[in-house]
Chains A and B, each alone.
Chain A
Amino acid sequence: MKIKTMGYMIKQGFIGLWRNRGMSFASIASVTASLLVLGMIIILVLNMNNIAEMGQSQFDNIQVYLEDELENEQISNIGAELENIQGVSYVEYESQDDALEKMKESWGEQGYLLETLENNPLPDSYVVYFQELEASQAVVRNIERITGVDEVRYYQDVIDNLVNIADFVQLAGLILIGILGLIAMFIISNTIKLTLNARRQEISIMKYVGATNWFIRWPFVVEGIFLGFFGSLIALVVVYFGYEYVYNLVYARFYALFAEYIVSAEAMLQQITVMFIVIGIGVGILGSLISMRKHLKV
């Protein structure tokens, strides 16, 4: 395509946009709205996955408490059994004395209070490290079957729930986005239809003079691209600043506690910029193609 022709297409696209300002505005708003919803879902899912992932690195081990009054031999047998379970990386023994020592340490200055205890109430335990988090549930089930094991403490159910919720949000979100995307496409195709009608006479002359089909179609595609592009641009700006605002709020209130679990606005922007623009433009192009299919015979 010649530069001059490209200039003509872009100019026509803008003229179309301006001619039906009202509908163009509605189209852009619908693209923006769809992408805003998408943005919220991405933020939710991104953060949930982030928390799950962070949690995973902190909860990649569990504590297995043993029954009281086991023989030393039984204890080491259990250790060997634990290590043999599929999915277990390694185990560390923590005797009741070790546990008490640890507790004293964590109590700090008040640690001396524990020395007044007549007998140690803490159980012996093993700390079991997983190879990967996903398999941990099966591992736990196997551990619970071992005789001599009293109780298993772990955070898997929290993480599982988080992952499940993230999956659900993602699925529901995708369906919602699909519907909103269709609505945006419908509005765009109606906007393009107005331009088509306004240019009907021009198009008929273009055909008689021998304009190629794509020469006739391009301005409408360009108009669709503009509608989608502007819609995605506005959505990006709103999502970015909106998220940054909320992020700062959370950061100020919970500071260190949450900060590392939450994705930063910059990181989020990086993830969605290309996606938003591609989706916006894609919806715009599809809308204009649909319109031309229905209303333009070339």
Chain B
Amino acid sequence: MIEFQNVGKTYRQQVVALQDVNIKINKGEFVFLVGPSGAGKSTFIKLLLHEEKATSGKIMMNDEDITKVSNRRIPLLRRSIGVIFQDFRLLPNKTVYENIAFAMEIVEAKTKDIRRQVPAVLGLVGLSDKAKKYPNELSGGEMQRVSIARSIINNPSIVIADEPTGNLDPDTAWDIMRVLRNINERGTTVIMATHAKDIVNVMEQRVIAIEKGSVIRDDKKGVYGYED
């Protein structure tokens, strides 16, 4: 359902972030993106989100070449993708409940649906009792679970996470991985860029390794493969 065909990305000042990437990711897969710092993992993710435009090649999503999509349609494409960041990106002046509801309000969901779905998703990430708390009253792991809840609230078919455990201690990181695994088991494709060696090695999922902008490894049940 996602296919990169000879995709290249060169930033201004001639920085080549990705070159000739050919990758196919099927619906329901769990994929790790690994590689040294500056390899191009985040760039890969930004191309999927249409935050950056590919300089060459095609990116197919559900049989549509998203590199050719009009600006007007980009928001609609983004609704089929949930995003999670290392730094959570929660709104500090909104409660947990409001942060999640916000994602539904933005896509003009019905109030009735918001009232029904937000508690359900809060239950899924194990935060039912924190609905009225503000982000600064939460631990890092809890904040990340709020951001996961927000990413899946509109039922995306893909969830993309850029180093979601980067700011968390190992135990909390595993909590987060269990939530992501859970989401994946419900049929959602999960793509996760990470430097967490242990997690990659234990999970035994597909691993795509990028170095200097090129895919150098793509294993079905891969390992992290770097020493950091």
A251 to B15 alpha-carbon distance, docked (Å): 77
Contact A213 B71 (CB under 8 A): yes
Q: Tell me how far the C-beta of A10 lies from the nearest C-beta in chain B, rounded to whole angstroms.
A: 14
User: DSSP class of A's interface residues: helix, strand, loop or mixed?
Assistant: helix
User: DSSP class of B's interface residues: helix, strand, loop or mixed?
Assistant: helix
A241 close to chain B: CB less than 8 A: no
A5 close to chain B: CB less than 8 A: yes
B136 close to chain A: CB less than 8 A: no
Residue on A with the closest CB to B107?
Answer: A210
Partner of A8, one of B76, B91, B105: B105
Contact B102 A207 (CB under 8 A): no
A211 close to chain B: CB less than 8 A: yes
Report B-chain residues with C-beta under 8 Å of the C-beta of A2. Answer: 108
A202 to B71 alpha-carbon distance, docked (Å): 20
Report A-chain residues with C-beta under 8 Å of the C-beta of B79. Answer: 209-210
A212 to B91 alpha-carbon distance, docked (Å): 19
Contact B108 A4 (CB under 8 A): yes
A269 to B58 alpha-carbon distance, docked (Å): 62
B49 close to chain A: CB less than 8 A: yes
Residue among A201, A210, A213, A215 with max Cβ neighbours from chain B (10 Å) = A210
The range of chain A's interface size is 10 to 19
Q: Which 7 A-B pairs have the closest CB atoms?
A: A210-B79, A210-B78, A211-B106, A209-B103, A210-B75, A212-B75, A208-B83
24 contacts between A and B (CB under 8 A): A5-B108, A201-B91, A205-B103, A207-B75, A208-B49, A209-B78, A209-B79, A209-B107, A209-B150, A210-B75, A210-B76, A210-B77, A210-B78, A210-B106, A210-B107, A210-B154, A211-B75, A211-B107, A212-B72, A212-B75, A212-B76, A213-B71, A213-B75, A215-B106
Apart from A208-B83, A209-B102, A210-B77, what 8 extra A-B contacts exist at CB < 8 Å? A2-B108, A4-B111, A209-B78, A210-B78, A210-B107, A210-B154, A212-B75, A213-B71
